[in-house]
Chains A and B, each alone.
Chain A
Amino acid sequence: MKPLADRVAGWLGHDAEQAVAAAEEAALRSDRFRLEREGDWKRLEGIVARIERGRLKSVPDEDLLALPVLYRTAASSLSIARETSLDEALVAYLEVLTQRAWFVVHGPRAGLGGWLRQFLGGGWSAAVRALGPDILIALAAMVVGTLVGWLLVSSDPDWFYALVPGGDERVPGASGAVLERTLFGNADQPALSVFAAALFSNNAQVSLMAFALGFAFGVPSILLLVHNTGMLGALLWLYHGQGLTLELVGWLSVHGTTELFAILLAGAAGIHIGRCMAFPGDAAVLDAAAAAGRRAALVMTGVVLMLIVAALLEAFARQLLDATAPRLVVGAFMLVFWTGYLFVWRRGRAA
């Protein structure tokens, strides 16, 4: 190792003069090339390492300004080294260095906070609007599901047990008083347990599934929407039989407008992915899936937010409002709010 150490002493000093002197001494042209640029590479490596460790703030301004130039220097050094140098270790080093710098230079632009601002300030609604036809398909599936549920149960009440997972008093043949009791007078239930139950219950699962199953060309998403709104149709039929339709709608609408809206969007996101994979147009299937997936991911982030809002409404608002009229008002307000926010309000439309 002794001769190695001697050799190092000659040129590894950070002194630029020494480096130049060593470069003049070097026998090979490719080594002169290397010695002249080594300082830049090392500087780039230092900056990249600090940014990778998450210490962006500790990087001086002049280094940040130099970063793109240094990156391009490294990239062009790599091209030249491949053509002129047979030093395998040098080429490998430059490949890795360029790769790391490339990730830093082309990394995610905004942090989570900045992204969230942009998301709520128009990114989400734009993504939702980009799903236009898929939302219509999902809406149609949900309407059909409700109708089918209603018609099936009205033709044969036994269907009710197949559609609605049982276990409580809401069954065909229940008296009006029993059904009414399920809608009103539960104000003393602890809000928290309802919140938790709602958030982790059926609906969140259904939304996520409806999105994820879109992967199979959207068919399972549609089936899932139909099946779950079939349950809704069956419930509507049941309460309708006892003249409690409006009361049920009120009870559902407090959180239901938000929740059904969320399920609608989740289903549409799934259908969007499926549709783009089935009919990718000019793009390759994988590229089409990726583009659709990114749009759908934006929508799904919003869906998660909506489900949280729905769970809050279900847990608190529905217990506090123990009558149909205020429930309908809240439900209608939420519906108008979401529709307006997602479809009407556009930021920078002029631009």
Chain B
Amino acid sequence: MTARVVLEAERRRRWLTTPEGVALPFTLATRGSRAGALLIDLFLIGTGMVLTTLALLWLAQRIGLNLTNKGPAGHAVQALAIAWFTAMFLLRNAWFLAFELGPRGATPGKRVTGIRIAARGGGPLTTEAVIARNLMRDIELFMPLVFIGSALSTGSDTGPAAWAGLGWFAVFIAFPFLNRDGLRCGDVIAGTWVIEAPKRRLEQALSLGEGGAGRSAATGAQYRFSDADLAVYGEYELKALERVLRDNRPETLVEVAQTICGKIGWSAGTGDERAFLDAYYTQLRARLERGMRFGRRKADKHA
């Protein structure tokens, strides 16, 4: 189960080299999170449209206008209607543009689902690219919906041309499922892709302080491991141990401490696993990092 999740994430990982020559990992957003982001955005846009309409209607009512007015009042109605058209146009078209051009490169929906757009291949994200990917959205999403709607409303006399059109639009909708990077047509045209935008705090260094120095705060015992004790594990095990220490779940700590003791032939007793593991982690890391500096790496316990 966990292995499959890790593999899945690995499959979505893409490496880009920045102009400074540092390789950075980017994780492509899942299609599910993108669909979720789109639904949230559509909901927000719909809410905005309804609220604007209601506000304008309320305004018209307050100043006593209705659609049959002539003369100056009629002009006022027309002005309100133009305001309405403009608001609808902006909500429908500028929503995605304005937000995706911002420093976060993400609409509110994308922010909620933790994803953003970026230029494929690591260049800067340009305004033209954002416009291009959003121009295609109409054709990919709204046009097929209108088309399907009209096909349904004509009912049984849907001709072969309509079916062909439907198939054509189906290609647009299915496009993200037909390529490795999950690109929709707009992404292809714009040279963009959608990636995860993670945030991360700087975690504590486990190798600092009492435990790292090998002293147990609880018992005052001093843990010092010989080179042979440390030689049994490699980098893979070190990382696993790091995760266990960060999770800090007592049962797991006990289990892991017992496994290590068994492996190196120690009997450390119980109750002081945290200090024991802190000490083992620090000394194992010191040993492996020393090897690294001399170009000797040990990937895992089998190496």
Interface residues of A (CB under 8 A from B): 2-4, 6-8, 10-11, 22, 26-31, 34-35, 38, 41-42, 45, 51-52, 54, 56, 72, 75-76, 78-79, 83-90, 92-93, 95-100, 102-104, 106-112, 115, 190-192, 196, 199, 208-209, 211-213, 215, 273, 286-287, 289-298, 300-301
Q: Quick one: given A196-B85, A215-B189, A286-B120, are A75 and B128 in contact (CB under 8 Å)?
A: no
B contact patch SS = helix
A107 touches B191 (CB 8 A): no
A95 CA / B85 CA spacing, docked (Å): 45
Q: With the chains together, A99 CA to B105 CA distance in Å?
A: 13
Instruction: State in angstroms the CA–CA spacing of A100 and B105 once bound together.
Output: 11
Known A26-B208, A28-B285; judge A108-B203 contact (CB<8 A): no
Q: Which residues of A contact B120 (CB under 8 A)?
A: 286, 290
CA–CA, A4 and B275, complex, Å? 11
List of B residues within 8 angstroms of A31 by Cβ: 205, 207-208
In the assembled complex, which residues on chain B have CB atoms less than 8 Å from the CB atom of A191? 78
> Within 8 Å CB of A72, what residues of B?
20
Q: How far is the CA of A76 from the CA of B21 in the complex (A)?
A: 9
B289 near A30 with CB under 8 A, answer: yes
CB distance from A53 to the nearest CB of B (A): 8
| Any A CB within 8 A of the CB of B155 | no
Contact B200 A109 (CB under 8 A): no
B228, CB-defined interface residue at 8 Å? no
Determine whether B39 belongs to the interface, using a CB cutoff of 8 Å to chain A.
no
Contact between A97 and B200, CB atoms less than 8 A apart: yes
Alpha-carbon distance between A133 and B289 when the two chains are bound, in angstroms: 61
Task: Sort A-B residue pairs by CB-CB distance and give the 9 closest, nearest first.
Answer: A290-B191, A7-B209, A293-B189, A297-B132, A212-B139, A294-B128, A89-B203, A297-B131, A96-B200
List 4 additional contacts besides A27-B213, A93-B202, A115-B101; criterion CB under 8 Å. A10-B209, A103-B103, A106-B124, A289-B191
State which of A89, A95, A300 has its C-beta within 8 Å of the C-beta of B25.
Answer: A95
| A-contacting residues, B3-62, CB 8 Å | 18, 20-22, 24-26
List residues of chain A with CB within 8 A of the CB of B132. Answer: 293-294, 296-297, 300
Flag if A108 contacts B125 (CB, 8 Å): yes
Q: Whole-angstrom distance between the alpha carbons of A103 and B209 in the complex? A: 35
The answer, among B18, B198, B208, B286, for a CB contact under 8 Å with A75, is B18
In the complex, 12 of the A-B residue pairs with CB atoms within 8 angstroms, ordered by the A residue number, are A10-B208, A26-B212, A89-B203, A95-B25, A99-B26, A102-B18, A106-B125, A115-B127, A209-B139, A290-B191, A292-B189, A293-B191
Contact A287 B191 (CB under 8 A): yes
A56 to B201, CA, bound (A): 22
Q: For residue B101, which residues in chain A have a CB less than 8 angstroms away from its CB?
A: 108, 111-112, 115
B residues near A196, Cβ cutoff 8 Å: 81, 85
A92 in contact with B209 given A27-B286, A86-B288 (CB within 8 Å): no
